[in-house]
Structure 1
């Protein structure tokens, strides 16, 4: 755990293992010195992770002479807690704990704390070096994950700047580096995912295969190469390994959340999940612009139109990108004005109108990576928004980080957290794009609602886009970390209506081939599958007006009480059901293969009849925009057959029959 090796004494006879409450998962620790301490993880009595190194490397040794090691075990924790919003508002937290403590003669302490849940393993490093100790300079982390080489994995490449990368499907042993969540399936059929929880004041962890062929933690560095500067009393983020006997078990795990502290926000009454629309998609298609001009999207006229549409369609929020001055500096100084709107966007009038109509107005702050400029005005900008009755903010960090930093280093992690806490002080909910990855801090800071952190919908507008296999991988990888603002719900799938608007866009350029590899029914299903408490209908509203299938979004409730992945295999298909109040919503999607799955409806309340409204692919048509809407009456004793075309899906609302 430090740069030098010290022998350990006093460890004989002590219990060096800890098991999950159900006895299925075991962690054992071995070693006689700090330099050879290792851990193993067994599932059902069989090794999942072979002996793997532990440790943090620092510039100066943290411990002195006369080092001793001790093992302590805490009583089982089995509790239930509630959150103001989430996939499940009631969460069970059940684990056993063991702490391996190393102390020196001066009572400096270094410890590894393990928690073993029925759905995985977590551990972190903690140190207490006394009040007079200097800042600890972390130069490396030695943590290893000795996974079997012949298993299958799904991951994106490691990057210190972006998560917007395609997923790779490859044998575990062939992965040279990866970001997390790093999801795998062993030959024995054990599913798992390596990630981290409670990331604060520390760089993100990626994985890199070392010279011995083992995946090892790799921390994103600061510009000078140092990984982190931390206090003499500190706890690192948790290193996590979620474990399940089937793929959907990973999705249904709450372990990442449980490793975070309870909410630090006393009054959460202003934190409200919502559905939203906004001026956004047109900019990516090219039919509108962020910059003020003939095709400017964020105008007063458009704002009023969108607010009226929200009121008429049971939608709570409206977002406007390109409302503020500074977009003309994009690609140059990356300097934005977070207080001054363009002259054709009457912010105060719009805010007043939205408030009168009961609609939440969203602000958007693109930083372009210019963190010093944004931090200098952050509090005054948030206070201004709060004075207008605004409670929701979308941030963006598209661009290189100023002063040579990266998006995922300790310095930028600190910045992201500063924004979260500043927003909380001004009663503002946050949606972060180009973010640091989610690690469950939404439990502690429930105003941190949702993030991007993967290739979202906009990639379909100006690239080869995201295929249906990608959307069947996402729930088992990125979404294991937490909510994602994917911005689903495009109804003009081949952009024919946008292409027909010759007066506003030239579709003969490099994006002329673009479309979404999907069906309309799958776009509807994504509102359920891709969880976000701030859920967007992302198309331009003229594509929803008068559309029968948009009734699903009108009925949908983003403030769910309970969720469960009921079927799925990674990269193949997925089916998720959520309950909000008395209503249930089911979303299912498949990859490029036409598929039929049978789903028991035992999640419905027993003894109640429900009207199921089914939004399905048209099996007789290859046109992705064709669909069928049908209704039937069902109970919890029934099963329903979900039929999906290639790249397709199905969405169902279940409402108590009247």
Structure 2
């Protein structure tokens, strides 16, 4: 099929007049009337634009998809239909168990020459807009997508500030940049921004299946547009002739925390395909992990092997004694000696010093979940060959949680975030679901809300996690204050928080104590201990780790917070915050509430009303706060208890790089 020529302007105008005469305008407005998404078409093709409170946010921006077979765009608006949704749905786990889906929808059918029909399905919520492409091309079975034409023309690029990582198809473990949109050459999503008028927003995508990820890249005309991760032959995707793309999303809020509190991404995904979700349960966990990144333990068998039988039993006992549900073991399976070579792993056979049967039996005896780890090293063909047998073996052992890893380049020249990668990650999710296994994915494809449809997809890494503090310049306090407003807008993150040995002194005695106010004003972990505790609340994950060596928790008074903490929350709200500056988050699990607050490199005092607590109930608030000298000694902290109610106000005093965490336990007569 040849590329479809563009129609004359007259035909497009006639189509628009036809739609108007039918009483259906190509405009959809949010339920509260504040946000509108409009579609238009002329001789150059269709465009979309967004206004908020009558002011332009996105100027008319091009739409369409190019394939080898056809230009899927359309130059005539053939029909427009409107509908509305207002429903509540529940999820087995999540920041909020009960979610409202309230939006207005518009479907615009665009036609070009030949048999191409493009439907643009757009939705407007009170917290943003979204659209996706749906097409059907007659006369062929498969289309080769070569480009997506979607543009994002900000009305005020120089005056709009953004926070993002560079556009990279292999990794998300990059530093955030704060740049005017006009200076952004490329960016991954979520792409968070603030206009000169103080409006906040974030560009992302939802329901990513069978299609490459989208990054934003400035084209030769100077416009930010969608760029798709290519396959080795340069084609972006091979798709059926009848196909639906992921949603292109723009979350919008008056306050920065409105973006965190938005459920727009989840609402654009389909309901769960897993009928019985009773086995999908959030957990707290510890594990053999941090020592490998410090270099005090290794993944391979030998004198410093971390995943040994003795060490496993010790961790299981610690978990059982401290109200912790799971224990993770990395380096348990044969093949780590091949690292850096052929990346060959055996996903079933343990090392000789890791008695898997005995460890699994002991974990069951003590009521602790055994987690396994499967690192692929990028060797996807081998992992997929063993996948079914490995999942079956884990299920036989009673293992319900698997951590996967994809460090290293994919075999065959495929990119992590290409269609090939997206298809592989999804294949693992669906295989795990058949065997009743939950997933924690490192080096993942970014989260786009598929956890609603596949709730065994629990958490992902997808940003610079705690391990970067062990062997690099580390993650700054400013980075931690950006994370909730950028990466976490896409979904849960396995950051692996909770390091109590801030300067590693007990792990690396030969390193010497690195002073907090050293030559560069740095320490190994660039937070206070109180902020490490607060991160368990701030950085949401239904699988939440206490990542330090367990000997650093034994007998530590502040570890009481993690024992009291519940990863299975019912309600969450980001209460206040500014991107890169500070953040305050509250969560409820049953009758208990938890609060986490953090600041950047500036000392900060915040006033927080406690109106989120249940009225008429008295709570014991246990406050884990920075000490007076935490700026000089980051491991210094104080614990205070007081009785509070929903009518009270909490003063949150934080040192530079510090934080505060609070448990609110109801007082029963």
TM-score, length-normalised on structure 1? Answer: 0.96
Alignment partner of 2:15 out of 10, 13, 28: 10
Q: Is the 8 A contact 1:464 1:514 kept in 2?
A: no
Alignment partner of 2:658 out of 630, 635, 648: 648
Q: 2 CA distance for matches of 1:583 and 1:2?
A: 61
Give the aligned CA root-mean-square deviation in angstroms.
Answer: 1.7
In the alignment, what sits opposite 1:140?
147
Q: 1 CA distance for matches of 2:79 and 2:500?
A: 58
In the alignment, what sits opposite 2:515?
none
In the alignment, what sits opposite 2:370?
361
Question: Deviation at 1:185?
Answer: 0.2
SS in 2 for 1:498: coil
In the alignment, what sits opposite 2:381?
372
In the alignment, what sits opposite 1:629?
639
In the alignment, what sits opposite 1:152?
161
Question: Deviation at 1:32?
Answer: 2.3
Matched, 1:291 2:292: no
Q: 2 CA distance for matches of 1:146 and 1:350?
A: 57
Alignment of 1:497-646 (within 5 A): 497-500=506-509, 515-621=524-630, 622-646=632-656
In the alignment, what sits opposite 1:509?
none
In the alignment, what sits opposite 1:462?
471
String of CA shifts for 1:48-81, please: whole Å, max 9, x gaps: 001111111111126799x852342332101000
In the alignment, what sits opposite 2:219?
210
Matched, 1:119 2:127: yes
Q: Is the 8 A contact 1:72 1:99 kept in 2?
A: yes
Q: 2 CA distance for matches of 1:534 and 1:64?
A: 42
In the alignment, what sits opposite 2:100?
92
String of CA shifts for 1:71-101, please: whole Å, max 9, x gaps: 4233210100000000000000011111111
Q: 2 CA distance for matches of 1:60 and 1:85?
A: 43
SS in 1 for 2:49: strand
Q: 1 CA distance for matches of 2:494 and 2:283?
A: 12
Question: Deviation at 1:128?
Answer: 2.1
In the alignment, what sits opposite 1:312?
321
SS in 2 for 1:525: helix
String of CA shifts for 1:494-550, please: whole Å, max 9, x gaps: 0010122789xxxxxxxxx97100000000000000000000000010000000000
TM-score, length-normalised on structure 2? Answer: 0.94
Alignment partner of 2:495 out of 483, 486, 492: 486
In the alignment, what sits opposite 1:251?
260
Structure 1: give runs of 5+ residues left out of the alignment: 504-512
Structure 2: give runs of 5+ residues left out of the alignment: 513-521
Q: Is the 8 A contact 1:178 1:208 kept in 2?
A: yes
String of CA shifts for 1:542-563, please: whole Å, max 9, x gaps: 0000000000000000000000
SS in 2 for 1:521: helix
In the alignment, what sits opposite 1:169?
178
Q: Is the 8 A contact 2:81 2:108 kept in 1?
A: no
In the alignment, what sits opposite 2:517?
none
Question: Deviation at 1:2?
Answer: 6.7
String of CA shifts for 1:382-431, please: whole Å, max 9, x gaps: 00000000000000000011001110000111000000000001100000
SS in 1 for 2:16: coil
Q: Is the 8 A contact 1:183 1:192 kept in 2?
A: yes
SS in 2 for 1:272: coil
Question: Deviation at 1:117?
Answer: 0.4
Q: 1 CA distance for matches of 2:653 and 2:73?
A: 66
Q: 1 CA distance for matches of 2:150 and 2:79?
A: 19
Matched, 1:37 2:38: no
Q: 2 CA distance for matches of 1:592 and 1:129?
A: 55
- Which one is further off, 255-264 or 71-80? 71-80
In the alignment, what sits opposite 2:88?
80
Alignment partner of 2:392 out of 383, 398, 402: 383
Q: How many residues align?
A: 646
Q: 2 CA distance for matches of 1:244 and 1:63?
A: 32
In the alignment, what sits opposite 2:342?
333
